Amino acid sequence: DTAVSQTPKYLVTQMGNDKSIKCEQNLGHDTMYWYKQDSKKFLKIMFSYNNKELIINETVPNRFSPKSPDKAHLNLHINSLELGDSAVYFCASSQSTGVGEKLFFGSGTQLSVL
Amino acid sequence: AQSVAQPEDQVNVAEGNPLTVKCTYSVSGNPYLFWYVQYPNRGLQFLLKYITGDNLVKGSYGFEAEFNKSQTSFHLKKPSALVSDSALYFCAVTTSGTYKYIFGTGTRLKVLA
């Protein structure tokens, strides 16, 4: 049983298109995250939700819109895709005890914008 | 602002030799420090963490890390490297009351047979 699952695993699309990535966790965690890993493997936080409430929103273009329908799901919708959006997007989750809980990561969605 | 530095892009070590992957951090307040490992085409996997207490933390696969407050470091170590340890290693930091985990730039570990 996969703890944090993302779909799709690969996403190849044209510039200007709109696409979504879905994430689900079955760990009972109440905090979920989106991270972006670029071609140099740098990992940057994009968004975080706690109990369906947005708590972290880094300097991400407005074309990126996260949505958390419930505690177990966090989706990422991207409008008007650009070449620079090509990256691997990781979903993660943790429990929110406030004392440094570890993150559980999904296996990533490799987005290629042509 | 929180930050993490991993000064080495790559570390090469011979199988059976001890390995060290370096990490230094900067935070306001007490740090919670983590090491994660990433194998090709996979998500990050948790190795170990320091929250409080003993400065030497033991984790998965024989890895350990030493928290040094005066040097603001949290270096990852293993007494005897295996070829299967070859992967990308990330150090991360957060603090109490925040959900923001900041990751270092990663260090590629290559263990040579």
Structure tokens at B16: 């059976």
Pick from B90, B99, B105: CB nearest A55: B99
- In this predicted structure, the answer to whether residue A97 has a pLDDT above a threshold of 90 is no
Burial of B40 per CB tally in 10 Å (0-12, 13-18, 19+): exposed
pLDDT one-digit tens code per residue, B11-60: 999 999 999 999 999 998 889 999 999 998 889 999 999 998 899 999 99
Phi, psi of B83 (to 5 degrees): -55, -35
Interface of B with A in 23-82 (CB under 8 A): 32, 34, 36, 38, 41-46, 49, 51
A21 vs B96, more confident: A21
Q: Do B32 and A99 touch (CB under 8 A)?
A: yes
Please list, in sequence order, all residues whose beta carbon lies within 8 angstroms of the beta carbon of residue B4, skipping any fewer than 6 positions away.
B23, B24, B25, B26, B91, B92, B93, B102, B103, B104
Phi, psi of B97 (to 5 degrees): 85, 5
Q: Do A104 and B46 touch (CB under 8 A)?
A: yes
DSSP characters for B68-97? ETTTTEEEEEESS--GGG-EEEEEEEEETT
Percent of chain A with pLDDT over 90: 80
Q: What is the pLDDT of residue A5?
A: 95
pLDDT one-digit tens code per residue, B58-87: 999 999 999 999 999 999 999 999 999 999
Query: CA nearest B5: which of B108, B68, B93, B83?
Result: B93
- In this predicted structure, the answer to whether residue A2 has a pLDDT above a threshold of 90 is no
pLDDT range class, residue B103, cuts 50, 70, 90: very high
| Best residue of B38, B44, B52, B105 to probe chain A, by most A CBs closer than 10 Å | B44
Distance (Å) from the C-alpha of residue A58 to the closest C-alpha of chain B? 10
CA dihedral B28, A97, B104, B39 (to 10 degrees): 170
Average pLDDT, integer, range A14-37: 96
**Among all residues of chain A, which has the CA nearest to that of B31?**
A100
Q: What is the pLDDT of residue A98?
A: 67
Q: What is the pLDDT of residue A1?
A: 62
Q: Do A105 and B45 touch (CB under 8 A)?
A: yes
**Alpha carbons A51 and A48: distance in angstroms, whole number:** 10
Distance (Å) from the C-alpha of residue A100 to the closest C-alpha of chain B? 6
